[in-house]
Structure 1
Amino acid sequence: MRAPRRGTEEVAAPRVTAVVGLLVVFEMVSGFLQGSGPALVPAVQDWQSISASQAQWYMAVQFLAAAVGVPVLGRLGDLYGHRLLVRISLVCVAAGTVLVALAPNLTVLLLGRALMGPLAALLPLEIGLVRDRLDLDGARRAVGLLVGALTLGSLLGHGLAGPLLVLTGGVQATLCVLAAIACACVALSYCAIPESRTRAPGRMDWTGALLLGLALLLFLGTTARGANWGWTSPLTLGGLALALALLAWWIRLERDRPHALVDVQAVAHPRSAPFYVSGFVFGAVMLGGQAVGISYIAASPADEGYGFGLTTWEISAWGAVPHVLAFAGASMVARVAARTGYPRVLLLAFALMAAGNVGLIAGHTTLALFALASAVSGFGMGLALGGLPTLIAERSTPDRTASATAVYNNLKTLGGSLAGAGSAVVLGSLVVRGTDVPALSAYLTIWGLGSLLCVVALMLQVLTSRQAVAPGAAKNRRSDSRPHSDAHTRGG
């Protein structure tokens, strides 16, 4: 790995500042496209004349494509350059949005949504780029801005999809607007973005990529259909067992490869593993709890005996509260960490998320208290959104930044998938006697489990906090963030 000359670094500094701004634009657009997706599902369903189960795949296919594609794109970015793969990802996304907007049938529609899967790869690739081009403090600030932009974009996409639909007069026109925005990002990616300089040794592990993709597709596809098949049915249990067997085979294969898709030993190292586990927990609490909260506040006290009976626009306004606080937390994480250190930021993040879930239980009869608890939890999520990928990137070797962050992203997604399936089981099992309506105890159980998971992650942060690099010493110890000393000798 060749170190850049000092003179070149000084000349490039102003340009790198502009690069961060462009990457922030990409993340805001990424969030907007992802946030607007769920809000447009009913309109897409009417436009394409498809059933509710078919419409479910409108969201699921992008989710599956992201799970399979993110590790591959992250590793390719480490091998061939992060800017190149950012551009390729943006081209795929733009092509996908165009196909979705012009889709004559369901097949083309789903193909377009699958091509939008690389949206989830943008952040890991961008983290790899800023870590390579900026110093430690600059990279930390940049990651906070990127995560904050993604959060803000998601909030705007969720809130503005409806008004945009009304303004354009139809869902196809709305989708064309989104496609135009995505295509504009492709053109913007050719403006003043320098390529990363560090390259990982070796070549692409396509066998590992294929095996991991099959395992993830089988696992996520089975959990997505588990509620319809029955969680104890032979089809569901067999699918999950086969997925886990493939995953175990993949781990064994990756451990013996010199240039593996994922550095399994680095992920399992005591300096890194707690943060990956925390990412899984974070995904379970954040992604798995969103639908549960919306379902609860939409319930009517007169009918179900709990909830607040909010209307659609009131639900949207309530949903904006944790999103706004998450944006604030993600944007502030670098400044907070400069004073306390990132390990303490994560301690605060999971403490707030645990307190927020407890607050949902305590305030489930009062809307103001319920909203306050959601706000507390949202701020903690924002801190975790900015803090976890930053620490994971810093604890990886410079030539593995994008692929390491991609692994975190997938673990977060898997956590959300499992939590969503688990929540469905709880809501379907704890019901009002003689009906299929979830009982109040179901919601309280889910929030209690969420709080317990946050406490587990909090304990992990406490156990590893002594190993964390102190903020004042981090500038001179960037290379010491490697999980193990032979990282470069084995490609990673």
Structure 2
Amino acid sequence: MSADPGPPKVRAVVGLLVAFELVSGFLQGAAVPLVPEIQDWQGISTGQAQWFTSVQYLAAAISVPAFGRLGDLHGHRRMLRVSLGIVAAGTVLVACAPNLGVLLLGRALMGPLAALLPLEIGLVRDRLSVDGGRRAVGMLVGALTLGTVLGHGLVGPLLTLLGGDLRPTLIVLAVSAVGCLVLSFTAIPESRTRGRGRMDWSGAALLALALVALLGTVSRGAAWGWASAPTLGGLLLSAVLFTAWTKVQLARPHALVDVRAVARRDSAPYYASGFVLGAVMLGGQSVAVSFMAADPAETGYGFDLAAWQISLYGVIPNIMAFAGSALCARLATRIGYRKLLLIAFGLLTVGYVSLLGVHSGLAPFAVANALVGVGCGLALGGLPTVIVEGSAADRTASATAVYNNLKTLGGSVGGAVFAVALGSLVIGATDTPSLTAYLTIWTGGGAACALAILAQLGLSGRKSGTRAPAVPAPAGSVSEGPG
């Protein structure tokens, strides 16, 4: 990593990137509350409306590894601008969409939103000192978390302020994305390290097919039936494609993903922890909401909260996650990142296990979810740093992209597993989830986080808190001058 270029350069790099992540979080957080409005606007069914969010997740899973590798090869700032340009075009299409096809195309073009963070982390690792890079990662993750909270909480009032008309609201979102694209051509310097080799396009295409098969099947599993032929066939197809892709990656000297580096004993537990984090954080978002909305007079559990009350209590873990990610670098300076991650997953474990005993009281229920939020925030800030500092200098964005995809994949798998629990463990002959369903989900979440702790403890002993030894760039890497 290059030397710290000084305060003005630090502000130029980090300040604008933080603004990009705030907008990225806002755009992503605003999507879910707008689904009912999108349904009314386009005159489509509930199932069709769900593709408004699903198509972006699929596009993100496909684009993130490719954009990460292209950034390592051709410059992180360059690919950051490309990503922002595609996202801006997508938001404009969404705002102007005359029909569902154009709307979904626009949402697919917004997929590279998820590639912004890996590219930004690659940029700050190259341009800042070790300590400066660590602080920057914490700020970027914190900004993304805060933006998501603001997007989820403010898009409703924004819609009301604009007279309840959806199109002006979408235009405001598009203007913010276009503004980020314009800002990207100002003070941001280019990264100087270049990776060796060329883009593995066939590997990217094979990975895209595998991810579409897996995520598409998981997203439709509940509708098709988890034991149905289409679901089992889709899962089998994705397994075959992933196996073929892994063999291809291992055989190529300049593959899309360095599979051997991901599978190393000192890095695999952190990638696996990213999968667990995605499962409990992304997959479990709707579980607490449905529990708080349940009427105890009818179900024997829940708090019968109104929508505004659910929003109030639901934002608590998100705020705590923002606080945790913002404090991550400062805490890690004192105790080290590896200990910090053990604490993060320890808090997650305690939070989920606590829910088993405190779910009957709203205040202790909120406290347990706050613990989960803090754990998520610390993990969100710490995992990318440990993964990046253990990767080769010319693979920074690629390594972060793999982590990002595993986290998203964990969210998809976790969401599917939780949906099965809520749909299978029901009250009598109804389709209402029983208390056992929620207890099973919380037990599973706590157990998964405890397994992540055991995996991290199994690492052979590097001293906690020390930076992973720098991995020299491969022969043939290019170190360029400032952009």
TM bucket (normalised to shorter chain) is over 0.9
8 Å contact kept, 1:259–1:490 = no
Q: Does structure 1 residue 168 correspond to structure 2 residue 154?
A: no
Distance 2:192 2:393 in 1: 10
- Distance change (3 Å), C-alpha of 1:10 and 1:348: closer
| Among 11, 23, 33, the residue aligned to 1:39 | 33
Aligned to 1:425: 420
- Distance change (3 Å), C-alpha of 1:366 and 1:213: same
Aligned to 1:183: 178
Q: Does structure 1 residue 353 correspond to structure 2 residue 339?
A: no
8 Å contact kept, 1:258–1:490 = no
Aligned to 1:391: 386
Q: Which runs of 5+ in 1 are unaligned?
A: none
Distance 1:491 1:293 in 2: 48
Aligned to 2:442: 447
| Among 229, 243, 251, the residue aligned to 2:246 | 251
Q: How does 1:155-304 map to 2 (within 5 A)?
A: 155-169=149-163, 170-304=165-299
Q: CA deviation at 1:481?
A: 4.0
8 Å contact kept, 1:288–1:419 = yes
Task: Give CA deviations for 1:279-320 in whole Å, capped at 9, x if unaligned.
Answer: 011111111111111111111112222111111111111111
Q: Does structure 1 residue 315 correspond to structure 2 residue 310?
A: yes
Aligned to 2:40, the other structure's residue is in SS state: helix
Distance 1:139 1:436 in 2: 49
Question: What is the letter of the counterpart of residue 150 of structure 1?
Answer: L
Distance 2:358 2:159 in 1: 35
Distance 1:281 1:465 in 2: 21
Aligned to 1:302, the other structure's residue is in SS state: helix
Question: What is the letter of the counterpart of residue 59 of structure 1?
Answer: T
Q: Does structure 1 residue 135 correspond to structure 2 residue 129?
A: yes
Distance 1:470 1:333 in 2: 13
- Distance change (3 Å), C-alpha of 1:82 and 1:16: same
Task: Give CA deviations for 1:301-345 in whole Å, capped at 9, x if unaligned.
Answer: 122221111111111111110000000000000000000000000
Question: What is the letter of the counterpart of residue 445 of structure 1?
Answer: T
Aligned to 1:488: 474
- Distance change (3 Å), C-alpha of 1:454 and 1:481: farther
Task: Give CA deviations for 1:88-147 in whole Å, capped at 9, x if unaligned.
Answer: 111111100000011000000000000000000000000000000011100000000000
Aligned to 1:60: 54
8 Å contact kept, 2:33–2:156 = yes
Task: Give CA deviations for 1:169-215 in whole Å, capped at 9, x if unaligned.
Answer: 21111000000011000011111100000000100000000000000
Distance 1:15 1:280 in 2: 34
Aligned to 1:69: 63
Distance 2:89 2:257 in 1: 28
When normalised by structure 2's length, the TM-score is 0.96
Aligned to 1:303, the other structure's residue is in SS state: helix
Distance 1:280 1:296 in 2: 24
Q: CA deviation at 1:465?
A: 6.7
Aligned to 1:411, the other structure's residue is in SS state: helix
Aligned to 1:467, the other structure's residue is in SS state: coil
| Among 23, 26, 48, the residue aligned to 1:29 | 23
Q: Which runs of 5+ in 2 are unaligned?
A: 479-483
Aligned to 1:93: 87
Q: CA deviation at 1:19?
A: 1.2
Question: What is the letter of the counterpart of residue 249 of structure 2?
Answer: E
Percent identical among aligned pairs is: 61
Question: What is the letter of the counterpart of residue 270 of structure 1?
Answer: R
Distance 2:395 2:86 in 1: 23
Task: Give CA deviations for 1:16-49 in whole Å, capped at 9, x if unaligned.
Answer: 3321010000000000000000011111111111
Aligned to 1:288, the other structure's residue is in SS state: coil
8 Å contact kept, 1:71–1:406 = yes
8 Å contact kept, 1:78–1:403 = yes
Distance 1:57 1:489 in 2: 45
Question: What is the letter of the counterpart of residue 369 of structure 1?
Answer: P
Question: What is the letter of the counterpart of residue 208 of structure 1?
Answer: G
8 Å contact kept, 2:5–2:127 = no
Task: Give CA deviations for 1:366-399 in whole Å, capped at 9, x if unaligned.
Answer: 0000000000110010000000011000000110
8 Å contact kept, 1:205–1:259 = yes
Q: Does structure 1 residue 326 correspond to structure 2 residue 321?
A: yes
Question: What is the letter of the counterpart of residue 189 of structure 1?
Answer: S
8 Å contact kept, 2:338–2:465 = no
8 Å contact kept, 1:346–1:387 = yes
Q: CA deviation at 1:491?
A: 8.1
Task: Give CA deviations for 1:216-244 in whole Å, capped at 9, x if unaligned.
Answer: 00100000000000000011001000101
Aligned to 2:101: 107
8 Å contact kept, 2:194–2:477 = no
Distance 1:20 1:402 in 2: 16
Q: CA deviation at 1:470?
A: 3.6
Distance 1:255 1:142 in 2: 33
Distance 1:470 1:184 in 2: 39
Aligned to 1:431, the other structure's residue is in SS state: coil
Q: Which moved more, 1:380-389 or 1:461-470?
A: 461-470
8 Å contact kept, 2:317–2:370 = yes
- Distance change (3 Å), C-alpha of 1:107 and 1:468: farther
Distance 1:206 1:113 in 2: 23
Question: What is the letter of the counterpart of residue 140 of structure 1?
Answer: R
> How many residues get paired?
477
Distance 1:465 1:184 in 2: 47
Question: What is the letter of the counterpart of residue 371 of structure 1?
Answer: A
Aligned to 1:375: 370
Distance 1:81 1:395 in 2: 20
Aligned to 1:414: 409
Aligned to 2:257, the other structure's residue is in SS state: coil
- Distance change (3 Å), C-alpha of 1:296 and 1:491: farther
| Among 359, 366, 376, the residue aligned to 2:361 | 366
Aligned to 1:404: 399
Distance 1:465 1:36 in 2: 43
8 Å contact kept, 1:259–1:491 = no
Aligned to 2:419, the other structure's residue is in SS state: helix
Q: CA deviation at 1:14?
A: 2.3
Aligned to 2:481: none
- Distance change (3 Å), C-alpha of 1:469 and 1:306: closer
8 Å contact kept, 2:4–2:128 = no
8 Å contact kept, 1:258–1:491 = no
